[in-house]
Every structure is written in C-alpha cells, then in structure tokens.
Amino acid sequence: MGPDGHTASLFPDSPALDEQSRLVVANWVAKFNTHRITFTFPVLNRAAEVMFLASGADKADMLHQVLEGKNSPPLPSQRVEPSDGKLLWMLDEAAAAKLAR
C-alpha cells in the first residue's frame, strides 16, 4: 500500500479505478506524469490470496484510514476485497501504531 492509499498502480482519482472489463490497463497517473501498467480490480478481487505490506510510521495515518475509515469514495486499497479468497495485511509496529487494538 502506498502512502496515498494506492495499490498496484491503482491511484486515487486515476482512470483505471472504474475499469470493469479489462484485466490489465495502462493507467495514467497524473502525480508521476506517466502511464503505469496495472492489474485492475476484476483481477485483484478474483485472486486466491491478496497480501498487502505496510511498513513505517509514514504509513500509519493512511493505514488507519484504509482499515478503519469510511472514505467516500473508497481509497483504492479499500476496494480490494477478494470474492472467494483471502486478504492478508502484513504490518510493522510503526505502521500499525494508529489502529484500534
């Protein structure tokens, strides 16, 4: 998970967030002024297992928003919900510092 709540190259407000038919797209990412190749949610949400890694204190606020917040629209990482698979989060203490215990 990125510091802005992105996953893969699915960034907030990027066009690929709404893709429902293609499995992989070239997604325009304005903050980097470039296209990034990414899987889409139809692929990620059909995976047998999805693993996120978040480490460092700089991720603590965003991790709290992603796992415990009600964002509208949802952040890209919040939209990863495997329909018939597992979702695993690997966190270090610094990243998890602002989560409810």
Instruction: Give the CATH number for residue 35.
Output: 3.40.50.1360
Q: How many domains does the chain have?
A: 1
Q: Is 50 helix (H, G, I), strand (E, B) or coil?
A: strand
Domain with 27, as residue range(s), is 15-98
Q: Is residue 68 part of a domain?
A: yes
Structure tokens at 46: 């059909």
Structure tokens at 62: 């965003």
Instruction: Assess if residue 70 is contained within a domain.
Output: yes
Four-residue CA torsion sign, 77, 53, 38, 83: negative
Whether the pLDDT of residue 4 is over 90: the answer is: yes
| Domain-embedded: residue 46 | yes
3 occurs within a structural domain: no
- Percent of the chain with pLDDT strictly greater than 90: 95
Which whole number is the average pLDDT over 69-86? 95
pLDDT value of position 88? 98
Residue with tokens 């919900």: 81
Q: Is residue 9 part of a domain?
A: no
Q: Determine, yes or no, domain membership for 8.
A: no
Gap between the Cα atoms of 10 and 24, Å rounded: 11
Distance CA 38, CA 61 (A): 25
pTM of the model: 0.91
Element housing 34 (H / E): strand 34-39
In a domain, 31, yes or no: yes
Instruction: Say yes or no to pLDDT of 55 above 90.
Output: yes
Helices (H), the chain: 41-44, 60-68
pLDDT of residue 47: 97
Average pLDDT, integer, range 14-25: 96
Is residue 42 a part of any domain in this protein? yes
Would the pLDDT of 101 be above 80?
no
